[in-house]
Amino acid sequence: MTSIKQVSIQTLQDMKSAGDRIAMLTAYDFFMAQTLDEGGVEILLVGDTVGMAVGGHSTTIPVRLDQIVYHAEMVARGASRAMVVGDLPFLTYQVTTEDAVQNAGKLMQAGKVHAVKLEGGRSMVPIVKSILRAGIPVMGHLGLTPQSVYRFGGWKVQGRDAVSAQQVRDAALALQDAGCFAIVLEAIPADLARDVSQSLDIPTIGIGAGPHCDGQVLVTPDMLGVTGFTARYIKHYAQLRTVIHDAVRQYVADVKSGSYPTEQHAY
Ligand code: KIV
C-alpha cells in the first residue's frame, strides 16, 4: 500500500519557494472532500460560506461554531492528502483572545482540522499569536472579508485607493510577522495582490484577486455550477445544476410513467 504524504505547512511553504501554485477549494461534507482530495487539491477549506452555498443564507454571518465543527469533522474524514482548514465563524474570535483560543481549539479537537482561518488585519495580531501559542496554525484572510460585509457597505472590491491598498499591504506583513502560515486575499485588485504576494515569504491564496497569488481558492458549489452564483472572478468548471435538473426530471417522469422501478429493481 502506498502511503499518501499529507500536505503540511512546510509543503505549502516549499511550493511557494519552488513557484508551484497551490489549489484550494471549499468542502462541507465527506463525499465531496474525498472527491476533491482525489482530484489533487492541496487545501480543503471548511468555509463559513457553508451558510450561503449550503444553507441558503445571504451572508456568512449566521454561521455558528458548532455548525463548522459538524461539517469539518465530515471533511476531515474524507481527506487523505489535503490539509483541512476550518473557518472561525463571526464573533468566535473577535471578542476576547481567550474565546479565540478556546474556539480554535474546539475546531481542531472536535472538527479535526489541521489549521484555522480568521478574517481581519492588524487588530488580529494578538489573537493570531495567542492561537498559535496553543499550537494551532492560523491562516489569515484580507481584502473583502465577508464577515465585515455590512461595514464595507456591500460586496465591494477592497484596496482600490492608495490608503486602503496600503492597509492591505501593512496588514499582510503584520499577519506574517504574527505567524500566519498563509493568507487568503479576497476581492482586491490584481496589482495589489501581486505586490502583497511578492512582499511575503508565506503563500497568498487569491479569490477574486487576479492571477499573481501563490494559490487560488473557490467556493466549490459555485465553481461546479450548483449554486447558480456568477461573478467575474468565477470560472465554472461544470454546470451541475443542469445535470441535476435533467436527472431529477427523468426520475420524476420514470416514476410517473411506471418505467422505474421495474422487476429488475425488486427483491
Ligand atoms: O468561507 C469561505 O469559503 C472563504 C473563502 C471564500 C475564502 O472564506
Same structural domain, 146 and 246 = no
Going by CA atoms, what residue is nearest to atom 5 of ligand 1? 47
Per-residue pLDDT at 2: 54
The residue among 258, 260, 236 whose CA lies nearest residue 247 is 260
Compute, in degrees rounded to 10, the torsion defined by CA atoms 258, 263, 265, 267. 130
Please choose, from the candidates 201, 254, 149, 203, the residue with its C-alpha nearest in 3D space to the C-alpha of residue 12: 203
Mean pLDDT per 10-residue interval, the chain, length 267 residues: 83 98 98 98 98 98 98 98 98 98 98 98 98 98 98 98 98 98 98 98 98 98 97 98 98 98 97
- Asked if residue 113 and residue 54 are part of one domain, the reply reads yes
Same domain as 143, residue 85:
yes
Asked whether residue 1 is domain-assigned, the answer is no
Q: Do 46 and 111 touch, CB atoms closer than 8 A? A: yes
Name the grid cell of 222.
459555485
What pLDDT sits at residue 3?
65
Q: For position 4, what pLDDT does the model report?
A: 78
Closest residue to atom 4 of ligand 1, CA basis: 47
Burial class (CB in 10 A: 0-12, 13-18, 19+), 70: middle
**Is 3 within the bounds of a domain?**
no
Q: Are residues 138 and 250 in the same domain?
A: no
State whether 203 and 261 are in the same domain: no
* CATH code of the domain in which 106 resides: 3.20.20.60
Q: How far is CA 94 from CA 14, 97, 154, 245, 253, in A?
A: 31, 8, 20, 41, 52
CB 126 within 8 A of CB 97: yes
CA angle 114, 45, 215 (to 5 degrees): 100
Count of domains in the chain? 2
Distance 140 CA to ligand 1 centre (A): 11
Say how many Å lie between the CA of residue 49 and the centre of ligand 1. Answer: 6
Maximal CA-CA distance, the chain: 71
Residue nearest to atom 3 of ligand 1 (CA): 47
Residue 102 domain-assigned (yes or no) = yes
* Residue 213 and residue 146 share a domain: yes
Residue 135's pLDDT is what? 98
Q: Are residues 115 and 172 in the same domain?
A: yes
**Residue 30 falls inside a structural domain:** yes
Domain that holds residue 168: 9-236
Q: Are residues 248 and 215 in the same domain?
A: no
Report yes or no on whether pTM surpasses 0.85: yes
Ligand 1 binding pocket (C-beta < 6 A) is: 26, 45, 47-49, 87, 184, 186, 207, 217, 219
Domain membership flag for residue 2: no
In this structure, what C-alpha cell is assigned to residue 166? 496600503
Q: How far is the CA of 53 from the centre of ligand 1 (A)?
A: 10
Give the angle subtended at the CA of 117 by the CAs of 116 and 123, to the nearest 5°.
120
The answer to whether residues 136 and 231 belong to one domain is yes
